[in-house]
C-alpha cells in the first residue's frame, strides 16, 4: 500500500504518508518534499536523529525552502532507534535505506538517483547513518552531510555500559555480545573507501556539543586519508538552531547549483 497526503504551495509538494516496504515487511512512514518536476536537479536522503522521527526536519527547519533553492527532491525515511543498522533482533533498516528506498524513489518519482545526483545527510544518529551510507557505498553518492554526528558507536556503548535499558536496546541492534562490527566502524569504512573515489563530505559540529570531540577525531582521520572533506565548527549545541544553519552550510559545500 502506498498513500500520501500533504500540501502544495508555490510549485512544491510537502507530503507525508506510508508505503509497504518489502525489506521491512511492513508499512513505514516517509516524508517527502518535491519541487516542480522541471526544477528537480538532484535527490537527497535526509536522515533523522535518535529522539525524533522522519517529520522532524520539516517541522524544525526550513528544509522545504532549501530544497527549492537547490532543486532537490528530499526523502526523509523513518528508522525508529535502529542507528541505520540491520538489527540483530529487529528490522533491516540499513538495507531498507541503502537498497530498497533509492530503487523505489527512482521507480515511483522519476527523480535522479544516479551517483552524480544522489546526496545523503543527517543529524546526530542520522549523521552516523549518512556517513555510513556514503563510506559503505562511495560510488553511489555525490555528497554526504553529517551534522553533529555520533560517529563512534563504541564510545556510546562505553558511556552507557551501566544503564540496563540502554544495553537491552543495543543488544537488539548489535546482538548479545554488543560487538561493533567492521560494517559499523566508520574509520574502517573510510579506510576502505579511500581506495576509490569518495563523495564530497561535509562535517559540522557545535563547539559546545558533547559530541564535538568525535567530529574532530573523524575530521583528522578523513584528512589523513586525503578525502574530499569540508569541516566546519562554530559555537553551538546539539540543537535545531545549529542544524538549521548546518544543513544550509552543508548544501552550499556539497550540492552543485546550476
Greater model confidence, 134 or 6: 134
What pTM was computed for the model? 0.95
Contact 119, 94 (CB under 8 A): no
- pLDDT band at residue 55, thresholds of 50, 70 and 90? very high
Domain 2-254 in this protein, CATH class: alpha beta
Contact 144, 134 (CB under 8 A): yes
pLDDT tens per residue across span 135-155: 999 999 999 999 999 999 998
Q: Find all residues with CB under 8 Å of 167, minimum gap 6, and list them.
A: 160, 161, 178
Q: What is the pLDDT of residue 43?
A: 98
Q: Which three cell numbers stand for residue 216?
A: 574532530
Which segment of 5-19, 44-58, 176-190 scores lowest on mean pLDDT? 5-19
Q: What is the pLDDT of residue 161?
A: 63
Q: What is the pLDDT of residue 203?
A: 98
Task: Please state, for a pLDDT cut of 90, what percent of the chain lies above it.
Answer: 84
Q: What is the pLDDT of residue 258?
A: 60
Amino acid at each position: 500500500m502506498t498513500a500520501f497526503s500533504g500540501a502544495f504551495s508555490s510549485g512544491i509538494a510537502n507530503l507525508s504518508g506510508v508505503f509497504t516496504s518489502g525489506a521491512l515487511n511492513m508499512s513505514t512512514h516517509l516524508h517527502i518534499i518535491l519541487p516542480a518536476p522541471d526544477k528537480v536537479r538532484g535527490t537527497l536522503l535526509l536522515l533523522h536523529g535518535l529522539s525524533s522521527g522522519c517529520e522532524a526536519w520539516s517541522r524544525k527547519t526550513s528544509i522545504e525552502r532549501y530544497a527549492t533553492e537547490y532543486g532537490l527532491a528530499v526523502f526523509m525515511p523513518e528508522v525508529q532507534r535502529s542507528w541505520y543498522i540491520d538489527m540483530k533482533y529487529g528490522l533491516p533498516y540499513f538495507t531498507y535505506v541503502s537498497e530498497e528506498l533509492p530503487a523505489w524513489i527512482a521507480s515511483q518519482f522519476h527523480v535522479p538517483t544516479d551517483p552524480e545526483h544522489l546526496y545523503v545527510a543527517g543529524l546526530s544518529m542520522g549523521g552516523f547513518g549518512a556517513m555510513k551510507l556514503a563510506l559503505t557505498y562511495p560510488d553511489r553518492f555525490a555528497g554526504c552531510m553529517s551534522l553533529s554526528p555520533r560517529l563512534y558507536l563504541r564510545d556510546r556503548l562505553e558511556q552507557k555500559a551501566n544503564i540496563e535499558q540502554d544495553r537491552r536496546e543495543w543488544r537488539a541492534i548489535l546482538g548479545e555480545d554488543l560487538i561493533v562490527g567492521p560494517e559499523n566502524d566508520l574509520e574502517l569504512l573510510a579506510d576502505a573507501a579511500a581506495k576509490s573515489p569518495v563523495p564530497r563530505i561535509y562535517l559540522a559540529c557545535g563547539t559546545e556539543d558533547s559530541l564535538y570531540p568525535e567530529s574532530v577525531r573523524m575530521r583528522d582521520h578523513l584528512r589523513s586519508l586525503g578525502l574530499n572533506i569540508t569541516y566546519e565548527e562554530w559555537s553551538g549545541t546539539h540543537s535545531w538552531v545549529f542544524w538549521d544553519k548546518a544543513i544550509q552550510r552543508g548544501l552550499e559545500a556539497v550540492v552543485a547549483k546550476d
